[in-house]
């Protein structure tokens, strides 16, 4: 398997060469406690990439969402000189399990499990001296369940807690103009042009373009024909409006896991998406580092049961 291509990184901070030279890696797990203590003398920010391990159609790896979270986190770390943790590689993905014995490979955790994991990771980091915990999320469905733990961490400790969503579904945002797919081909959706492009940029050996298929979502069989559906959001359209939402599984509105047209994907688009997302989030984190933070409860006492 070929190695990943070299990143083109635009460093957003200047005059910190002496600080950067102290660390052989920005991955917290690659360092010793001596390095962590040295880092905390100057900075108290740490990134926590999180996403999922779930089916992404016949042509993309299950790691796709985590690739986004990891790549964005690593780029931010290199751009502004902050640490990141290893990724939380499984998330809330019950809708991606498909049928029993089908071998789709999705590993999902219950919302309570994911929230407990986020809590314990953040509380461990706060215990050691980090005061700004930035979760870098790469999986849309995690957003459905995380608000309670983000609030609890803030209320319990006083730390600055943030949750970043570096992905595009209905909202193009900073990625406007990168993709060629028109709206009717759901350009940002599951395993379509964006995710395929990002995986090609990260490691083309993991992408099987010969298996890619242009696919559209359809209304689940349990809904009447008066409803319609064009993407993977949990809502459906009725009389031209989107007020109804249903707990739908992925296989109920798309058979192969792809929603959209992945055929126009290129590694160049993936690199540009990674660049825009990482630089945007990095600039935001630089501003967040200027905000005074007072942690009123740092010790992780309840760390056993």
- In this prediction, residues 295-301 reach a mean pLDDT of 98
C-alpha 112/C-alpha 146 separation (Å) is: 10
Q: In this predicted structure, what is the pLDDT of residue 14?
A: 80
Q: Which residues of 158-197 are buried (b: 16+ CB within 10 A; e: fewer)?
A: bbbbbbbbbbbbeeeeebeebbebeeebbbbbbbbbbbbb
What predicted TM-score, i.e. pTM, was given to this entire model?
A: 0.95
Task: Tell me yes or no: is domain 17-170+276-288 CATH 3.40.50.1980.
Answer: no
> Could you tell me the pLDDT band of residue 1, with boundaries at 50, 70 and 90?
very low
Q: Residue 8 pLDDT > 80, yes or no?
A: no
Q: Domain spans of the chain?
A: 17-170+276-288
Q: Dump pLDDT digits (tens) for 139-156.
A: 999 999 999 999 999 999
Q: Dump pLDDT digits (tens) for 259-288.
A: 999 999 999 999 999 999 999 999 999 999
Average pLDDT, the chain: 94
Q: Dump pLDDT digits (tens) for 48-102.
A: 999 999 999 999 999 999 999 999 999 999 999 999 999 999 999 999 999 999 9
Tokens 């984190």 belong to 285
Q: Residue 159 pLDDT > 90, yes or no?
A: yes
Higher pLDDT, 29 or 17: 29
Q: In this predicted structure, what is the pLDDT of residue 5?
A: 62
């Amino acid at each position: 398997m070929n190695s990943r291509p070299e990143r083109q990184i635009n460093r957003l901070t200047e005059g910190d060469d002496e600080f950067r030279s102290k660390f052989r890696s920005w991955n917290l797990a690659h360092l010793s406690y001596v390095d962590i203590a040295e880092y905390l003398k100057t900075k108290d920010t740490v990134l926590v990439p999180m996403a999922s391990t779930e089916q992404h159609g016949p042509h993309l790896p299950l790691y796709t969402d985590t690739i986004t979270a990891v790549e964005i986190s690593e780029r931010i770390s290199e751009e502004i000189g902050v640490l990141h943790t290893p990724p939380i590689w499984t998330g809330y993905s019950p809708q991606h399990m498909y049928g029993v014995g089908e071998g789709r490979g999705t590993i999902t955790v219950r919302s309570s499990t994911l929230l407990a994991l986020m809590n314990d990771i953040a509380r461990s980091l706060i215990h050691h001296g980090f005061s700004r915990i930035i979760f870098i999320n790469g999986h849309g469905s995690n957003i459905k369940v995380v608000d309670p733990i983000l609030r609890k961490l803030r209320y319990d400790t006083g730390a600055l807690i943030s949750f970043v969503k570096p992905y595009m579904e209905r909202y193009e945002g900073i990625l406007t103009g990168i993709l060629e797919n028109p709206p009717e081909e759901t350009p940002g959706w599951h395993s379509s042009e964006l995710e395929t492009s990002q995986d090609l940029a990260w490691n083309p050996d993991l992408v099987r373009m010969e298996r890619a298929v242009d696919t559209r979502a359809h209304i689940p069989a349990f809904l009447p024909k008066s409803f319609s559906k064009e993407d993977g959001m949990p809502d459906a359209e009725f009389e031209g409006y989107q007020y109804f939402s249903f707990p739908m599984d992925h296989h109920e509105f798309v058979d192969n896991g792809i929603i959209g047209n992945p055929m126009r994907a290129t590694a160049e688009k993936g690199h540009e998406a990674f660049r825009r997302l990482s630089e945007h989030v990095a600039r935001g984190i630089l501003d967040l580092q200027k905000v005074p933070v007072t942690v009123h409860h740092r010790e992780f006492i309840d760390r056993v049961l």
